[in-house]
Structure 1
Amino acid sequence: MQKLTNKEEEIMKILWRLEKAFVKEILAEIKEDQPHYNTLSTIVRNLEDKKYVGHEAFGNTHRYYPLIPKEAYRKQFVNATIADFYDNSYKSLVSFFAKEEKISVAELKEIIELIEKQK
């Protein structure tokens, strides 16, 4: 699975949310730094080339839909991030969030409970 650019990820988030959409519908969902219609169309076709997106033809226009589930991409992205930045250590990842005060003791206890329930 190829890594996506930030703009491609933005488009995929829209497609995951909408499930199926024409380029003009995707364009309407972009609030900031809205690209030109043709630029967006090129990005969507690139996503199709990367096998992230498929399409249904309606005459000369296409309705696009995700081929890769959001959860599959998230798993790949998280695993790659942990490998690249935390030496494949989930402990290092959680420690980072604790040091940055992005996770509370109560949340850590909830995580421990979830892990214990799965055993």
Structure 2
Amino acid sequence: MQKLTKAEEDVMQLLWEVDRGTVSDLLEHCPEPKPPHSTVSSVVRILEKKGFVGHKAYGKTHEYFPLVEREMYGRRSLGDLLRNYFDGSVPRLVSHLAEEEKLSKSDLDEMLRMLDNENQK
């Protein structure tokens, strides 16, 4: 699976949110300031070439839909993050999140509970 640029990820997030739609539909869900229609259209076509997006044509109108699931892309991105920034170490990632105060005590407690459940299997 290819890595996406920031702009491509932004458009994929919109498409995952709406599930399927035209470029105009995607623009309706874009935060301000909205990019030009032509920019979103170009990014969608690039995503289609990369195999992330498919379309169905209705005359001159194209309805786009994701071919890659959000969860699948998220898993791959998390794996890349672990390898590239934390040497593949989950404890280093968790330590970083805790140090940056991105994890609450309840988050840590939940993680420990999940690990305990996995160990009991």
TM-score range, shorter chain: over 0.9
TM-score (norm 2): 0.93
In the TM superposition, residue 79 of structure 1 has moved relative to its aligned partner by 0.4
Alignment-derived partner of residue 115 in structure 1? 115
Aligned to 2:17: 17
Structure 1 residues 28-51: Cα deviation after superposition (integer angstroms, max 9, x where no partner): 111223222122111100000010
In 2: Cα distance, 1:13 partner to 1:77 partner: 14
Distance 1:107 1:28 in 2: 34
**In the alignment, structure 1 residue 90 sits paired with structure 2 residue 66:** no
1:102 to 2:81 alignment: no
Runs of 4+ in structure 1 over 2 Å off: none
Secondary structure of residue in 2 paired with 1:54:
strand
Looking at structure 2, the residues matched to 68 and 30 of structure 1 have their Cα atoms a distance apart, in angstroms, of 20
Distance 1:36 1:16 in 2: 20
After TM superposition, the structure 1 = structure 2 runs for residues 45-64 of structure 1, keeping only pairs within 5 Å, are: 45-64=45-64
Query: What are structure 1's unaligned runs of at least 5 residues?
Result: none
Q: CA deviation at 1:24?
A: 0.7
Count, aligned residues: 119
Q: Which runs of 5+ in 2 are unaligned?
A: none
- Equivalence for 1:39: 39
